């Protein structure tokens, strides 16, 4: 799409679905990600908290309010957009709530975007600059509001959206303004194909020598 080899590019990829992560890709290779030991780390998500101060967890345990299993449940199932808004884990419902004047929905959206902007900036620093910013997965592909908000403070990096393209993108599309130094792309996640490709590699590796199927 950019007329360049992936191995020559510095890309920040924002996978925004019910689970979320940002990845720095240098010359076709992931060099950093917001995920940690589990996908729970990093960005605020639909029901997952993302990064939190570990002291919060030890405080809750010392106070006898939550045990380990309960903390795991809260962090994975009752936090994120759902926990902050008290409304929904679905970004569409959060945006609808904002339109109705729901204050906690607005707070959830603002925190979500703030964490996303901070992650993009951090990955750009890791790469020493970026040439492409990618939005993918359910929210990344379908929410012009999230893309616009995320990019609103990134012009210092060379990111500039085309408002009309962002509002009505086709998938696998460039939605950046003509004078943007960084290309902004909306890309289909195609997770099922990625899984199938890895399974095919395993099957081929395990096949007897000379097998053709």
Entry pTM: 0.88
pLDDT in tens, 3-27: 888 788 999 999 999 999 999 999 9
C-alpha span between 189 and 68 (Å, rounded) = 33
pLDDT in tens, 158-189: 999 999 999 987 879 999 999 999 999 999 98
3 against 32, higher pLDDT: 32
* Domain residue ranges in the chain: 7-206
What helix, strand, coil percent values describe the chain, rounded to 5?
45, 15, 35
Beta-bridge mates of residue 20: 16
- Percent of the chain at pLDDT > 90 equals 78
pLDDT in tens, 104-151: 999 999 999 999 999 999 999 999 999 999 999 999 999 999 999 999
Does domain 7-206 bear CATH number 3.30.420.40?
yes
């Amino acid at each position: 799409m950019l007329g360049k080899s992936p191995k020559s590019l510095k890309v920040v990829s924002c996978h925004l679905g019910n689970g979320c992560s940002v990845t720095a890709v240098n010359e076709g290779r992931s060099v950093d990600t917001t995920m940690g030991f589990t996908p729970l780390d990093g960005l605020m998500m639909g029901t997952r908290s993302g990064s939190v101060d570990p002291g919060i967890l030890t405080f809750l345990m010392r106070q006898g309010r939550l045990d380990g299993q309960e903390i795991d449940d809260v962090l994975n199932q009752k936090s994120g957009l759902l926990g902050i808004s008290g409304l929904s884990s679905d970004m569409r419902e959060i945006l609808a709530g904002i339109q109705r004047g729901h204050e906690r929905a607005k707070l959830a959206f603002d925190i979500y975007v703030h964490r996303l902007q901070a992650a993009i900036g951090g990955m750009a620093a890791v790469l020493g600059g970026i040439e492409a910013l990618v939005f993918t997965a359910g929210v990344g592909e379908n929410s012009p509001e999230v893309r616009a908000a995320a990019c609103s403070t990134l012009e210092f990096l060379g990111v500039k959206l085309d408002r009309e393209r962002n509002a009505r993108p086709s998938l696998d599309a460039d939605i950046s303004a003509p004078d943007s130094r960084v290309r902004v792309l909306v890309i289909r996640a195609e997770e099922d194909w990625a899984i199938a490709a890895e399974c095919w590699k395993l099957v081929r590796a395990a096949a007897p020598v000379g097998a053709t199927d």
